[in-house]
Amino acid sequence: MKKILFLAALMTATLFTACNKCGCGQECAQKCGENCDQKCEKKCERQCCNAQGNVGDIVYNAIVTRKSVRAYTDQPVDSLIIDKILRAGMSAPTAVNSQPWALGVITDRELLQVLSDTLHQRNPQMVSGCAFAIVVAGDMTKAFEGEGWSFWVEDCSAMTENMLLAAHGFGLGACWIGGYPNREKAQKIADVLNISDRYLVLDVLTMGYPAEDPDVKDKWNPEAIHYNRW
Ligand SMILES: Cc1cc2nc3c(=O)[nH]c(=O)nc-3n(C[C@H](O)[C@H](O)[C@H](O)COP(=O)(O)O)c2cc1C
């Protein structure tokens, strides 16, 4: 009998601990009940944390404090962080889940210098002095025919913003340099990086630990918002 009671207590404790990741375990444990497996736990955790405002505030703060940073220190960026930034990019929504993209990661200093000479930015250090750059390209074999063709631009833009936000979240500075629809510029970038005509370069993102701290621009404009009918 003692053994059974002990086992029951242990099971309850395990259930509670498994569902207690964000401090509202009891509620989670009640919702999941016997089905408190990893999937249920994750779902509960998300619901709890969202309800508590933790995730919302973190994401919101990251979004509203992001800014373009165009000067970087020499500090190298860990490859695990780069990997997470790329994963954040590939988590973006895409039309019909087509994921019409390819990414290039440039860490080679000579190549960054050549790219810098090609891109002619106002601050040339921005490209030659970044820790690494990411090239976002649309994969034309995955672009839709006809009217939906330009969805790749939207998809790759969503990917781009995801990566800028992830970089910001990891304490990096970053800046978006446009390619397409400037076809000449997109082609110049492609030529430097041996990118075949299967791809169209949408942008280059320069990233690194910030060596400047520009102000966040206040873009809030309630006049641009229309509730219900315009
Ligand atoms: C499509 C696009 C192209 C851009 N191209 C450049 C660029 O070539 N050089 C640059 O320094 N910044 C570029 N930017 C960054 C913008 O200048 C910047 O986002 C804008 O001034 C707003 O500032 P913020 O990012 O700090 O909010 C580009 C941004 C976008 C979305």
Cα(176) to centroid(ligand 1), Å? 5
- Contact of 94 with 100, CB cutoff 8 Å: yes
- DSSP H or E run through 204: strand 199-208
The pLDDT of residue 55 is 86
- Contact of 115 with 204, CB cutoff 8 Å: yes
Q: Is the pLDDT of residue 14 over 50?
A: no
The pLDDT of residue 12 is 45
| Ligand 1 atom closest to 160 (CA) | 31
Q: For residue 197, what are its two tokens?
A: 């005509």
178 lines ligand 1 (CB under 6 A): yes
The pLDDT of residue 54 is 80
Which phi-psi region, left, alpha or beta, contains residue 96 (left: φ > 0; alpha: ψ -120 to 50)? left
Quick: pLDDT tens for 150-171: 999 999 999 999 999 999 999 9
The pLDDT of residue 35 is 59
The pLDDT of residue 181 is 98
The pLDDT of residue 15 is 43
Work out the mean pLDDT of the chain and round it to a whole number. Answer: 88
Cα(75) to centroid(ligand 1), Å? 23
Whose alpha carbon is nearest atom 18 of ligand 1?
Answer: 68
Quick: pLDDT tens for 64-106: 999 999 999 999 999 999 999 999 999 999 999 999 999 999 9
- Contact of 166 with 90, CB cutoff 8 Å: no
168 lines ligand 1 (CB under 6 A): no
Q: Is the pLDDT of residue 16 over 60?
A: no
Q: How confident is the model at residue 124 (pLDDT cuts 50, 70, 90)?
A: confident
